[in-house]
Amino acid sequence: MTPSQRTANLTPMPSYDDALRITCELLRRHVDESRAIRPSDHIQNDLGLDSLSVWELASDVETRFGIAIPTETFAEIATVEDMARLVLSLQPSAHPAEAPR
């Protein structure tokens, strides 16, 4: 396989904005349609997801981004932007500086 063929088969790493947008789209399945979803929203307290819905969201995120979220990191996921940053950090060759602080 030539380098160009290998490159063509790779899924590009999402930017923070892409990760955030897709995370919001996945959250939309669990949140009332009329409710706006903001990066700073707490997934359980503001958006009303229960623990089962959070696990379902994590599974959706893993499937969509091709990552595995370690169970011990669940305590670190509070807000929508926490999830987007986690997605970036779990991507192969991720660079933490790419996510805004």
d(CA 69, CA 80) in angstroms, rounded, equals: 15
Q: Which fold has domain 13-30+37-98?
A: 1.10.1200
d(CA 41, CA 56) in angstroms, rounded, equals: 18
- Tell me what pLDDT residue 91 has: 86
Q: Return the half-sphere exposure (C-beta side, CA atoms, 13 A cut-off) of residue 74.
A: 14
- Tell me what pLDDT residue 93 has: 64
Domain spans of the chain, in order of start: 13-30+37-98
pLDDT in tens, 60-82: 999 999 999 999 998 889 999 99
